[in-house]
Amino acid sequence: MSNRFEGARVVVTGAAAGFGAAIARDFAAEGARVMVTDIDEAAAEAVAAGLNSALSFGLDVTDEARTAEMAQAVVDAWGGIDVVVCNAGLPHRAAPMIELDTDDFDRMWTINVRSIFLAAKYCVPHMPPGSSIVSVASIGGRRPRPGLTAYNASKGAVITLTKGLAGELAPGIRVNCVNPVSAPTGFDKNAVGLDKLPDEVEAAVVAGIPMGRRARPDDVAGAVLFLASDDASFLTGVGLDVDGGRSIG
């Protein structure tokens, strides 16, 4: 590993497991100081305990006051914020949209979209020029599939929010997102109620991905770190598809 992020002050939401934990670990491995946040405070603390120069914070990303407290905690600890990774997100249970419970619809949009607004609102004032925001959207935001229409629409909103915010914050702060294909993480549990997809369902999903597999946490972490790094210093408003080619056809 290089030290691209030596001394950088990084916030990662939804970092107790899956993509978020991989992102937090990779930043730490490249020299960053990482604030590991998650609604599961104990799990966030466990991830942080395994990293160098890391702190943890129990964060419900829909809670405005708590988000403000989190940003201030980073500033109090390290004097500012250099990278914010808005990873926290949640799908609804797979079903036709008109069968979706309205409360579930509203909750999902609050977690997937409002959380990014809140993170930006309270972190940006503490981010110096050269800082970066990276959100985790979904390839479903570009190429939706039946059964997760509302979720895909929320991730489409993340992509649009990324582009709009990039224009507002340029040239001082870059704003990008990654668009992963599905992965065998907690997404499966929330979308279909199973820890692991049945073999025939897994095979059908993989059949639509030219690279022959679903995403892994390290795939997404690598893309996030690239967008946050100086290697991507001229990229803003970008939605980077981390989808093994699913969006090709």
Active site residues: 151
Q: How far apart are CA 113 and CA 105, in angstroms?
A: 12
Element (H, E) at 81: none
Q: How far apart are CA 8 and CA 236, in angstroms?
A: 19
Q: How far apart are CA 154 and CA 166, in angstroms?
A: 18
Q: How far apart are CA 185 and CA 145, in angstroms?
A: 19
CA atoms within 13 A on the CB side of 197: 18
- Say if CB 84 and CB 137 are below 8 A apart: no
Q: How far apart are CA 75 and CA 249, in angstroms?
A: 45
- Say if CB 159 and CB 137 are below 8 A apart: yes
Helix ranges, the chain (H):
18-29, 41-49, 64-78, 102-109, 115-123, 149-169, 186-192, 199-207, 217-228
Closest CA to 111 of 92, 84, 125, 133: 92
- Say if CB 27 and CB 77 are below 8 A apart: no
